[in-house]
Structure 1
């Protein structure tokens, strides 16, 4: 009886396979392979983009780090050292500026160029979820900022006489601020109608991170402070600046990191939607 059931199942499977083959022959199309799952596809895109960025973006990362260190050196002439609010704001803002330069500016340019050159058509033909393309690329660009951010933060702490023991928070600030800025940069690059506008938006976003992130919030006018609150990297800067002081308020640090994570999730979702919108046009 068991042998009979096994033979029956094999016969049914063979008949179904033969029917599928005949249907494919009648329609003239080969059966499609199943689409890739999100996490394996995301890992593949992440590794590919990280390898590409390692070759093509190292000079630009050096420029971003040199730029942030240069800003700290210039601000040292007007800001006193020690654990004051101004010194902590300059060091934290300059460190996150490296993330803004790579994750926001360069990613906006990359997706703008990809859209203008028809590169999105290549990704559209692959069985890869749109979220995997956006998240993998954003994660690669954000990861690429880690060395420059660490060098800038250590240099700033030594230059301004701040303690180094709070820099462990970079392990949370870099991925969260990187996700928010990378999602914003990808959305700007994908939604811009022209490549030149994507480059312009990326430059303006980085300039906003420079002007609003490095300067202390206490001396800014109220309208400018409201614009500063709308910038995703502001909350990462606030969290990092808090732990560079003598007595950080950890509930405020956790709140800033939570806001940064929420903004990052919204920005990445908007970038995935913009990718779908741009890929079908």
Structure 2
């Protein structure tokens, strides 16, 4: 069926993309503004990127954010993958509904509720708030997203490959690392990237669970914006946009490459069988 885009669809798409991306484009443009006034263009300049690098408080917050994002994304990927395998392979076990509900709860739970509940937990445990409380909070937030991504891949996974490997004497652990993990790796990597991105720009949950020496970059930006937006803040936000964009592009290219290699392997297997 040949479907043509009508003027209404084109107009709707144009307005939608404009609403989403024009503010981001303006932010990037004004990060190169010579003037300190963000609404007055004073000429092209990169001096605010230099000011950003020389701002030690911003650099410390950025370093904390990266460490939290990498560590929480890694832990969330491991736990989320195990949870996805459990929900996919073990259809019936006592408490499965409760287990699934607890995994998916952060998906629909308001971040304010999640942050406040974790804060009350840490206070009840007399756990000093800082780097590790923010990391644990981000693991709680992002693990469910990883589980959903990996589970979507496991649903279509051919379990006969694992059964064949085990029939040939391969132990279960080796079967997982040699057969299962390479086949679901694109989904695992996509889950890690999603968890990293969510941790990188989280403000609400981190603000509830942060402490001395654990100020993340979104919290630092928010505290400075309350006093007024400067081109230096625009420069920081532009760098964050670039980091996320590069990560998304890299993950997309990796997934596409893995899909192409998979198709080549399948065609080779068909030709060999023929």
TM over 0.5: no
Larger radius of gyration: 1
TM-score by length of 2: 0.31
TM-score by length of 1: 0.31
